[in-house]
Chain A
Amino acid sequence: KQEVTQIPAALSVPEGENLVLNCSFTDSAIYNLQWFRQDPGKGLTSLLLIQSSQREQTSGRLNASLDKSSGRSTLYIAASQPGDSATYLCAVHLDSWGKLQFGAGTQVVVTP
């Protein structure tokens, strides 16, 4: 069974520092991988989807990499801001229908 792990569970950084969030999965036979942001009590906001044939995806200050052979994805957020404070979740797409296996998330606090 696919297991998705996000370490650390929580992270606190000063404003301006770059954020590095890690996601690992046990079975390299994934379809796609998606990163989400969740604010307290709210739904999930899609940040990036990396298709299975891609190595990385970029959107503004966000860059996500994918290494299927080693079972890892990393989300980089450049020049962090207090507004980046949230929980970040990675999810592995198990098939083309979109069934997802989520990690537990990394709670990020960016201090002014």
Chain B
Amino acid sequence: DVKVTQSSRYLVKRTGEKVFLECVQDMDHENMFWYRQDPGLGLRLIYFSYDVKMKEKGDIPEGYSVSREKKERFSLILESASTNQTSMYLCASSTPPSDVWNSNNEQFFGPGTRLTVL
């Protein structure tokens, strides 16, 4: 089974702190994603990466950065945490389709990190 793990289930930080959220997957997936989930706004993509050292902005990248130094690990960084970044953060991974006859790119999620910024 695919396993995606996140470093913390709950995290409390203060405004202005630099925050690191870590995600590790054990299935050798090329693609990794960071989302945030908020009531009434649903899941929104922050950043994704399709290879080591590669990154692409999602829908809401402002205030965030990412790092992918190894294939299995994708980190989300809040450079200077603010109260509006209080949210549930979800990491996911997938493998790209193997060929035109098999477009299976099922995405698997971690357990989430509930971040509170005071």
A-to-B contact residues, CB < 8 Å:
31-32, 34, 36, 41-46, 49, 51-53, 89, 91, 93, 96-100, 102-105
Q: List 23 A-B contacts (CB under 8 A).
A: A34-B106, A41-B88, A41-B112, A41-B114, A43-B90, A44-B90, A44-B92, A44-B109, A46-B107, A49-B105, A49-B106, A51-B102, A51-B104, A96-B105, A97-B31, A97-B96, A97-B105, A98-B96, A99-B48, A99-B58, A100-B43, A100-B107, A102-B42
Q: What's the minimum C-beta distance from B22 to chain A, rounded to whole angstroms?
A: 15
- B64 interfacial contact with A, CB 8 Å: no
A91 contacts which chain B residues (CB < 8 A)?
Answer: 43, 107
How many inter-chain residue pairs (CB < 8 Å) link A and B? 66
Name A43's contact: one of B33, B97, B112 (CB within 8 Å). Answer: B112
Other 20 A-B pairs with CB < 8 A, given A34-B106, A41-B112: A34-B107, A36-B109, A44-B92, A45-B109, A46-B108, A46-B109, A49-B104, A49-B106, A51-B103, A52-B103, A91-B107, A96-B103, A96-B105, A97-B31, A98-B94, A98-B107, A99-B58, A100-B43, A102-B42, A105-B42
Q: Judge whether B61 is part of the interface by a CB distance below 8 angstroms.
A: no
Please tell me if the beta carbons of A102 and B43 are within 8 angstroms of each other in the complex.
yes
A44, B33: Cα distance in complex, Å: 13
Interface size on B, residues (CB 8 A): 27
Q: Given A99-B45, A102-B43 in contact, is the A46-B106 Cβ separation under 8 Å? A: yes
Q: How far is the CA of A105 from the CA of B58 in the complex (A)?
A: 21
- Please measure, in the bound complex, the distance between the C-alpha atom of A32 and the C-alpha atom of B105, giving whole angstroms: 8
Interface string of B1-16 (1 = CB under 8 A from A): 0001000000000000
Mark contacts of B80-118 with chain A using CB atoms, 8 A cut-off: 1 yes-contact digit, 0 otherwise.
000000001010101011000011111111111010000
